[in-house]
């Protein structure tokens, strides 16, 4: 059984090297995130080989910083947790190899955590910390899941757009896949649209900030194309995001598809001759000799015509509308009273406002992580590891990276 219940977690599945110390899955002592954004920005997306190299550089100082910020040493820990998938194989391996070495050297148990489960626990960690959910903490097993935490979870990030029903059982969490994207993840659509509009990487925060200056009803984007994709049922998934979960037996009402809207934006840009504006914006903000070191929203606004701002606002409005429609339909279908929205795109302001308003209208509870816990971090991995620690679900020494690791059934 736990001493102080201190878990060191390591996360390196994509482009952030992160380490955190969390006590009993509910109290964050430290959370360090070394972002690689500046490395990948000039390529407009994550370059896997560069990601592995940057993780190798950052992992030791990041773990040291997490221990130092928590004012503890390795000897104070009860376990080491690490993301084992899904994610980039080489990137995951850096974290796993280091975590295994630490566990071996300290004789501590090693806990493998699914990155998607981590995103779900980001919200729970947040709620435990702010005592919003007031979980019934059992004295014998502090931090063990409680029935009232059952929720429909939308994990919406650069790699995933997945809906899960997350249910606590006596000791641990059980996840059922309810829906997922057939192709691009929502964050991927944000990033690709931002790239074609000459905005920086990652594109989500740019679109989030610029959207409020445009008319969200100026361009109508339909999501009807999802129906034409149903022939994919039972076939091998085409994308990295889709590989993490089989499609069979899913209700087609809860499937997402974001590759169509990306193409529709591209067509709109061509048709309305917005490409030259996008190219000059890229040069003015990011690639040109006079580009500012850190472009601001004002810099970006100065380069955007009203037509582009309207396009950005309409794109965002449509994507969020689709996420809402399917999530609330699934909540109704499953009689879920509680919704968690998590992952990088959950940082979006319009998303938070519209999900909150709709949940209020339907008398449901909706929760989001703090902004820092929305994007990739290791505190969420430590929180997800805690029930596994209580259950002594430890990884073997042959633990390896699983880039397509699925969550739940």
Please give the residues from 372 up to 401 whose contact with ligand KG4 meets the rule CB under 6 A: 375-376
CB of 88 to ligand KG4, least distance (A): 11
- The answer to whether 54 contacts ligand KG4 (rule: CB under 6 A) is no
- The answer to whether 126 contacts ligand KG4 (rule: CB under 6 A) is no
- The answer to whether 157 contacts ligand KG4 (rule: CB under 6 A) is yes
What residue 85 binds from ligand KG4, Zn ion, none (CB within 5 to 8 A, per partner kind)?
none
CB of 347 to ligand KG4, least distance (A): 4
Binding mask 187-206 for ligand KG4 (x = CB under 6 A): x--xx----------xxxx-
Please give the residues from 202 up to 241 whose contact with ligand KG4 meets the rule CB under 6 A: 202-205, 208
3-state helix, strand, coil in the chain (%, to 5): 50, 15, 35
Q: Which is nearer to ligand KG4, 54 or 78 (CB)?
A: 54
β-strands 27-35, 16-23 pairing:
antiparallel
What residue 403 binds from Zn ion, ligand KG4, none (CB within 5 to 8 A, per partner kind)?
none
357 Cβ neighbours under 8 A, 6+ residues apart: none
State CA 67 to chain mean position distance.
Answer: 24
Which pair of tokens denotes residue 42?
A: 């000039």
What residue 274 binds from ligand KG4, Zn ion, none (CB within 5 to 8 A, per partner kind)?
none
Element (H, E) at 8: strand 6-11
Q: Which is nearer to Zn ion, 157 or 314 (CB)?
A: 157
E-strand ranges in 289-355 read 338-342
- The answer to whether 159 contacts ligand KG4 (rule: CB under 6 A) is yes
Which pair of tokens denotes residue 220?
A: 């109508």
Closest CA to 324 of 77, 98, 154: 154
- Gap between the Cα atoms of 121 and 114, Å rounded: 11
β-strands 151-156, 110-114 pairing:
unpaired
Closest CA to 21 of 96, 79, 101, 107: 79
Alpha carbons within 13 angstroms on the beta-carbon side of residue 149 total 29
Please give the residues from 97 up to 156 whose contact with Zn ion meets the rule CB under 5 A: none
Binding mask 242-271 for ligand KG4 (x = CB under 6 A): ------------------------------
- Gap between the Cα atoms of 272 and 219, Å rounded: 12
Whether residue 330 contacts residue 358, with contact meaning beta carbons closer than 8 Å, is answered with: no
Could you say which DSSP state residue 256 is in?
Answer: B
- Gap between the Cα atoms of 162 and 245, Å rounded: 9
Q: Which is nearer to Zn ion, 106 or 404 (CB)?
A: 404
Q: Which is nearer to ligand KG4, 240 or 362 (CB)?
A: 240
State CA 394 to chain mean position distance.
Answer: 24
Q: Which is nearer to Zn ion, 17 or 308 (CB)?
A: 17
- The answer to whether 343 contacts ligand KG4 (rule: CB under 6 A) is yes
Instruction: Candidates 157, 244, 327, 348: give the one binding Zn ion (CB under 5 A).
Output: 157
Please give the residues from 9 up to 28 whose contact with ligand KG4 meets the rule CB under 6 A: 14
Instruction: Candidates 17, 126, 259, 348: give the one binding ligand KG4 (CB under 6 A).
Output: 348
Which pair of tokens denotes residue 246?
A: 């089989």
Binding residues for Zn ion, total number by CB under 5 A: 2
Please give the residues from 342 up to 381 whose contact with Zn ion meets the rule CB under 5 A: 376
Closest CA to 318 of 270, 359, 261, 368: 261
CB of 376 to ligand KG4, least distance (A): 4
- The answer to whether 322 contacts ligand KG4 (rule: CB under 6 A) is no
Q: Which stretch binds ligand KG4 (CB under 6 A): 233-241, 243-251, 304-312, 345-353?
A: 345-353
Whether residue 150 contacts residue 168, with contact meaning beta carbons closer than 8 Å, is answered with: yes
What residue 342 binds from Zn ion, ligand KG4, none (CB within 5 to 8 A, per partner kind)?
none
Residues that bind ligand KG4 (CB under 6 A): 14, 157-159, 187, 190-191, 202-205, 208, 343-345, 347-348, 375-376
């Amino acid at each position: 059984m736990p001493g102080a219940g201190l878990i060191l977690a390591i996360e390196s599945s994509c482009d952030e090297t992160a380490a955190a110390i969390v006590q009993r899955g509910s109290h964050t002592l430290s959370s360090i995130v070394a972002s690689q954004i500046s490395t990948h920005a000039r390529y407009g997306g994550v370059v896997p080989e560069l990601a592995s190299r940057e993780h190798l550089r950052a992992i030791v100082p990041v773990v040291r910083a997490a221990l130092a910020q928590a004012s503890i040493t390795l000897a104070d820990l009860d376990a080491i947790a690490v993301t084992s998938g899904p994610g980039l194989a080489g990137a995951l391996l850096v974290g796993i190899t280091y975590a295994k070495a630490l566990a071996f050297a300290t004789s501590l148990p090693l806990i493998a955590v699914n990155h998607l489960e981590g995103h779900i626990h980001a919200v729970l960690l947040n709620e435990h910390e702010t005592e919003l959910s007031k979980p019934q903490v059992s004295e014998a097993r502090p931090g063990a899941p409680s029935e009232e935490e059952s929720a429909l979870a939308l994990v919406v990030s650069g790699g995933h757009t997945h809906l899960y029903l997350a249910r606590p059982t006596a000791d641990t969490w059980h996840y059922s896949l309810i829906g997922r994207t057939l192709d691009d993840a929502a964050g991927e659509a944000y990033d690709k649209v931002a790239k074609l509009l000459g905005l920086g990487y990652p594109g989500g925060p740019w679109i989030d900030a610029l959207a409020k200056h445009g008319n969200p009803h100026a361009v109508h984007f339909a999501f009807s194309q999802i129906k034409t994709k149903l022939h994919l049922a039972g076939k091998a998934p085409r994308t990295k995001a889709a590989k993490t979960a089989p499609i069979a037996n899913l209700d087609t009402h809860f499937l997402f598809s974001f590759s169509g809207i990306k193409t529709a934006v591209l067509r709109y840009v061509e048709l309305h001759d917005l490409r030259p504006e996008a190219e000059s914006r890229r040069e003015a903000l990011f690639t040109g000799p006079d580009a500012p070191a850190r472009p601001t929203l004002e810099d970006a606004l100065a380069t955007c015509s009203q037509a582009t701002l309207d396009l950005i606002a309409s794109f965002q409005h449509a994507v969020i509308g689709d996420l809402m429609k399917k999530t609330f339909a699934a909540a109704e279908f499953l009689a879920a009273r509680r919704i968690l929205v998590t992952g990088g795109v959950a940082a979006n302001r319009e998303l938070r406002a519209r999900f909150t308003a709709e949940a209020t209208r339907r008398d449901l509870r909706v929760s989001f992580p703090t902004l820092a816990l929305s994007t990739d971090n290791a505190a969420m991995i430590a929180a997800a590891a805690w029930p596994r620690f209580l259950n002594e679900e430890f990884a073997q020494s042959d633990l390896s990276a699983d880039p397509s690791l699925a969550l739940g059934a």
